[in-house]
Amino acid sequence: MCTEIDHSSWKRAGYRSAFAMETEFHSSNPNIHTSRDDVDGVDVTWMAEFAKVGVGMAGELAGA
């Protein structure tokens, strides 16, 4: 079962969201938002880099 926990579910709920990705959209992972979209396909090292972006973005929005 696919459970969306990214920008699309927040946007549908009426919140502003951002969608950062590692490639051009047409080259993105074909498993996104499918039943094959699971943690086995996660690159933890790359995800850590994206987490840094998120922390920086939160700081920017907070006026830090």
Using pLDDT thresholds of 50, 70 and 90, give the confidence band for residue 16: confident
Mean pLDDT, all residues of the chain = 80
Using pLDDT thresholds of 50, 70 and 90, give the confidence band for residue 5: low
**Distance between CA atoms of 55 and 18, rounded to whole angstroms?**
13
